[in-house]
Structure 1
Amino acid sequence: MDTVDEGNWGPAINRLTISFLALVILFLCLRIVTRVWIVHSFWWDDFTIILAVLGTTIGAGLDFVEVHYGFGKREQFLSPHDIQEFRKYTYGEWIQTFATLMWTKVSICLFLMRIPHSKALLRPLYCAVAFLLFSNAILTTIWICQCQPLHAAWDNKGTCMSRGAKEGIVLVQALISVVSDFAFATLPIVFLWRVQIDFKTKIGLWFLMCLGFITGACCLVRTVLNNQALPDNQTYDGIVNWVWRLFEVQIGIIAACIPTLRPLYKWFMERVRGHRAVGMDANIHFPLTNNKPQSWVEHVGERCEPSSEVAREGHVDNLDHPDTTRDELVRESIITTERRHNIGTAHSNYAPAENARDSALEEEMIKYGINDSP
């Protein structure tokens, strides 16, 4: 007796794919507008997130082809040719997934490198980037070479790894993703812990920069469902794992873009309120010839240092070391500038020196549309 078809989830898979892809492309466009026309600083973290979006776009194309060959239906309702073609494109989609997740995490690392100047904080990020590139290269190579010859991965005409070995590759990649997502979501808390900004702003920045916890949660669910990553009935039983994998990839890209959009939000709100808008012009700077991520900060750090004459006269007793992390956030237009609380009345004693220094800073602030009002 024929088995009753329980339904075709293919159209729903296509709709979900299109919806998330459109959302990801929207956030990428907003990020590019912010970095190019408002912040005027387009760096390697922006290039790598573009690679991630390119990867997920390719993945969406592969999903459409998989649906064409039966993804969303049970295998008993498909022809042997359709099953073989589905396996071929699924094989390629996993390669895309590895690469897209890697570029997303590398972009987050590079974004975090913009904030601290301390080598103690930068070294772990450099190591993380190297580890992500190396581990992805190893896992991708193993995945590609899972069968000999390669086409045996979808036509079974050759020798292949066991199912457990292939699930092990997926599990290792998932564990790396979970650990890195939670680690990168925690780092902003460390970076901003001692930054001299009000607590409300600090909480807001933590929330924006810690959205990686959501991605980590999606990856954790995918890891728990790892036995569904390569099921016997791949075209139907693999749908749940695919959905969580889609959430992990797409939400990860969106979470990587959201912290960069605050300058655009500020620009929009100033336009709505009728204030002088943050400049949107074509004076674009691409500081890609510099090796250090903080190279695009030239004058902001000077704001926190009194002149040598003032220091010798002892007018400022409680001046802390320059808060370079805060200055990075100012240059990104993520926060607005404000007077340091611990300097107090000492400003009146060295106002001429500060005014002389602020001329260069004021030009930079106007350029980036940063409000210096208390």
Structure 2
Amino acid sequence: MAVPDNGPVIVSISWWLCFLCGGFLALRVYAKLSRSQSLWWDDYTLITSWTLLLIQSVITQIGQRLGFGKHTVDIAPCNLATIALYTSIGASISCFASTGSKISFGVTLLRLFKGPSKWFVWFSIVTLFMAMLPSALLTWIICTPPEKAWNPSVEGKCWDPVIATDYGIFNAAWCAVIDFALALLPWTLLWGLQMRMTEKIGVGVAMSLGVLSGVCAIIKGVYVVQLREQDFFYNGKDVTIWTSVETATAITGASIPVLRVFFKEKRSTHVTQDRRNDESVPQAQVKRPRSISMSQV
């Protein structure tokens, strides 16, 4: 009889998400460098987040080879503490990866806004980071000595596990609120610009994809309760997967606005060249479509 194992599903989805959002990030970087634009702090933050997601995927793969994804009774006893340690490390890394991907978009918005809106973006960035830190560190401080958190056989004391679970739910909820707020903020800027309505909607939708990351944060928050379950190595599939989905969605969503401008410029350039070749239209007479200046994105 086959042993129930969620490990292959967890690992395959984790790697697929890592490479998918990595592709969007690579295109984002290429789009900027090909236009002779320097990378800025939002780009470096996003690259760091993806690197952490890659490390998280490697750790998940190692844990799966040791038995992560199976019922606890089906895992070799000598591997239980090691899997728990890797799971703790991966959870801490995922916190920084997810939050960093959201902060990256906030850093982008800092270049577009002034006044109260800019201060709100700063508030969002700071509170995202401050709310994330306890989630990333709880595993390492919840027990005395810390080793007891991943090795129950060690003598010591631990806080009530409900504390970590409840805070995880709060952190996910706060991330969702900030995602929604930052996703809607660009519309306040776009509505005052002299642009065609279709162009406003196109730019607005491209810059509002953080909403999807917020939805993922809510779903992850629902599954955080799996941390309370005794057989987490098997039952923790959903919270593990949705943690990666949240980060990958944020990285992809932050890359799409840059790619939209890049492909729009490429298309405009090809149209201009075709007109010059077919109609001999002087470059000075060719009107380029008006768009929001996204060179700062």
Label 1:160 to 1:131 Cα distance change in 2 as closer, same or farther (>3 A). Answer: same
Label 1:14 to 1:142 Cα distance change in 2 as closer, same or farther (>3 A). Answer: closer
Which among 241, 247, 250 is matched to residue 248 of structure 2?
Answer: 250
Match of 1:187 in 2: 185
Worse-superposed segment, 265-274 or 245-254:
265-274
The separation in 2 between residues aligned to 1:203 and 1:214, in whole angstroms, is: 17
Does residue 101 of the first structure (1) align with residue 98 of the second (2)?
yes
The Cα shift of 1:274 comes to 7.6
Which among 175, 178, 181 is matched to residue 177 of structure 1?
Answer: 175
Q: Which amino acid in structure 2 is aligned with residue 186 of structure 1?
A: L
The Cα shift of 1:265 comes to 1.0
Q: Alpha carbon RMSD of aligned pairs, Å?
A: 2.2
Between the two proteins, what is the percent identity of the paired residues?
A: 24
Q: Say if 2:213 and 2:246, in contact at 8 Å, map to a contact too.
A: yes
Q: Say if 1:171 and 1:226, in contact at 8 Å, map to a contact too.
A: yes
Match of 2:44 in 1: 47
TM-score, reference length from structure 1: 0.70
Label 1:86 to 1:196 Cα distance change in 2 as closer, same or farther (>3 A). Answer: same
Answer 1 or 2: higher relative contact order, Cα 8 Å, separation at least 6: 2
The separation in 2 between residues aligned to 1:82 and 1:272, in whole angstroms, is: 58
The separation in 2 between residues aligned to 1:331 and 1:168, in whole angstroms, is: 40
The separation in 1 between residues aligned to 2:8 and 2:272, in whole angstroms, is: 45
Q: Say if 1:98 and 1:173, in contact at 8 Å, map to a contact too.
A: no
The separation in 2 between residues aligned to 1:252 and 1:224, in whole angstroms, is: 19
The separation in 1 between residues aligned to 2:208 and 2:267, in whole angstroms, is: 24
Match of 1:130 in 2: 126
Q: Which amino acid in structure 2 is aligned with residue 124 of structure 1?
A: F
Q: Structure 1 runs of 4+ off > 4 angstroms?
A: 270-274
Unaligned runs of 5+ in 1: 277-325, 335-374
SS of the aligned residue for 2:92 comes to helix
Q: Which has the larger radius of gyration?
A: 1
The separation in 2 between residues aligned to 1:333 and 1:128, in whole angstroms, is: 20
Which among 211, 215, 233 is matched to residue 235 of structure 1?
Answer: 233
Unaligned runs of 5+ in 2: 275-289
Which among 116, 137, 148 is matched to residue 152 of structure 1?
Answer: 148
TM-score, reference length from structure 2: 0.87
The separation in 1 between residues aligned to 2:228 and 2:246, in whole angstroms, is: 18
The separation in 1 between residues aligned to 2:139 and 2:131, in whole angstroms, is: 12
The separation in 2 between residues aligned to 1:5 and 1:165, in whole angstroms, is: 36
Q: Say if 2:223 and 2:239, in contact at 8 Å, map to a contact too.
A: yes
Aligned residues: 280
